[in-house]
Amino acid sequence: MDDPKVAFPIFEKAQELGVNLIGVHKGVPLGPQPVEHTATWDMDGAAANFPDINFVIFHVGLPFLDETCWQLIRYPNLYASIAATVNFAVRSPRMFAEILGKLLFWCGEDKIVYGSEAPLFHPQWALRAFMDFTIPEDLCAGYGYPQLTDQAKRKILGENLLRLHGMDVEATKARLGRPPAH
C-alpha cells in the first residue's frame, strides 16, 4: 500500500477514474504466510500520499488493533471495517466489546463501518447481534470506553459508508422508504 512503483500508480488511476474509496484487506494472518503482508503499517504511506482517497481497513487490522487505532486518529482518510470481527459479538462478546470499545475510544463512531463477510454467510444474525450489543459497564468505567449508542449503531451500520460514498443519508432513507432519524 505504500509502494511508489506498485501501489501508487493504482491509486493515481483510481483518482483519474473518480474513485475515492478503496477497501483494503488487512489483518487476519491465517495460514503460513508472512505476517507483514497483513499488518497495517503500510497504510501510513497510502493515506499520507493520497489524502483525497479514503481507505477502509478491513477486519479492523486484527491482530494489529492498537496500531490501526493510532493510524485512524492520525489520518482523516483512514477508516476501519468490522468485517470478520462482528461475528465476535456472538462468539466472544467480551472480545468484541474490547475491540469496539477501543475503536470508539480512540477514533470515534464516524471512523467505523460495518462489514459482515456476507459472501460467506447471510448477515442477518450478525446485524441482530450488533443491534442488541452493548459494551459492558466495567469496560466503560474501567477504560473510559464510550457506550455503543443507537446513533453510533446507525452510523456504523450504514450512515458512515453512505457518507464515504458521497450519498446523503436522509435522502437515501427517504428513497428507501425509511423515516429519517430525529
pLDDT tens for residues 67-97?
999 999 999 999 999 998 988 998 999 999 9
Q: Has residue 182 got a pLDDT over 60?
A: no
Please check the confidence at residue 49 and state whether its pLDDT lies above 70: yes
The SS3 call for residue 112 is strand
Q: Determine what percent of the chain is predicted with pLDDT higher than 90.
A: 73
Q: Is the pLDDT of residue 178 over 70?
A: no
Under a CB-based contact definition with an 8 Å cutoff, are residues 159 and 169 in contact? Answer: yes
Q: How far is CA 85 from CA 102, 105, 181, in A?
A: 13, 17, 27
All domains of the chain in start order, with CATH: 7-175 (3.20.20.140)
Per-residue pLDDT at 118: 63
Q: For 51-78, what is the mean pLDDT?
A: 96
Render pLDDT for 142-176 as a digit per residue (tens, 0 to 9): 999 999 999 999 999 999 999 999 999 888 888 88
pTM equals: 0.91
The three-class DSSP label of residue 142 is helix
Q: Which three-class secondary structure state does DSSP give residue 73?
A: helix
pLDDT of residue 113: 97
**What is the grid cell recorded at 45?**
504511506
pLDDT at position 8 over 60: yes
pLDDT at residue 180, as a whole number: 59
Residue range 114-150, pLDDT digits in tens:
987 766 667 888 889 999 999 999 999 999 999 999 9
What is the pLDDT at residue 22?
97
Question: Residue 69: its pLDDT value, please?
Answer: 96
CB 72 within 8 A of CB 106: yes
**Which one has a higher pLDDT value, 17 or 124?**
17
Task: Report the alpha-carbon distance of residue 136 to residue 3 in Å, rounded.
Answer: 41
What is the three-class DSSP state of 57? Answer: strand
3-state secondary structure of 106: helix
Q: Which helix or strand (DSSP H or E) is residue 161 part of? A: helix 160-164
Q: Give the sign of the dihedral formed by CA 24, CA 26, CA 31, CA 32.
A: positive
Q: Where are the beta strands (DSSP E) in 6-147?
A: 21-24, 54-57, 78-81, 112-113
Whether cis (ω within 30° of 0) applies to the bond prior to 63 is yes
Tell how far CA 7 is from the center of its chain: 21
Please name the residue that has the C-alpha cell 485512524. Answer: 72
